[in-house]
Amino acid sequence: MINICKGTCIRFKAIGYKGRRRYEDGQKLCPVCTEFLTYAGIRCPCCSVKLRNTPRGNKSRKEIHEKRKCVWH
């Protein structure tokens, strides 16, 4: 099944950001729609793809996990 943005995610589009603080502020990224959303769910309301709540960069990811007090194995 192909995931395509249907445009309903525009209602949840995040406004503004401060550097790498998007994820710290609770914003999530949809990799299909390529939009940051302020949405409480795990999946995108538009295309049902799992939202990314941490950055992909290793350094940024570690910083956020330390702030959230996650355990690294």
Residue 2 lies in a domain: no
Residue 3 lies in a domain: no
Q: What confidence score (pLDDT) does residue 36 get? A: 92
Q: What is the DSSP string of 3-52?
A: ----SGGGGGB-----TTTTTTTT-EEETTTTEEE--SSSB-TTT-PBPB
Provide the domain limits for residue 43. 8-68
Residue 52 lies in a domain: yes
Residue 16 lies in a domain: yes
- Domain count along the chain: 1
Residue 64 lies in a domain: yes
Residue 31 lies in a domain: yes
Does residue 53 surpass a pLDDT of 80?
A: yes
pLDDT digits (tens, 9 = 90+) for 1-42: 678 888 888 899 998 777 668 888 889 999 999 999 999 999
DSSP label at residue 69: T
Give pTM, 2 decimals. 0.79
Residue 29 lies in a domain: yes
Polymer length in residues for the chain: 73
Q: What confidence score (pLDDT) does residue 73 get? A: 54
Residue 73 lies in a domain: no
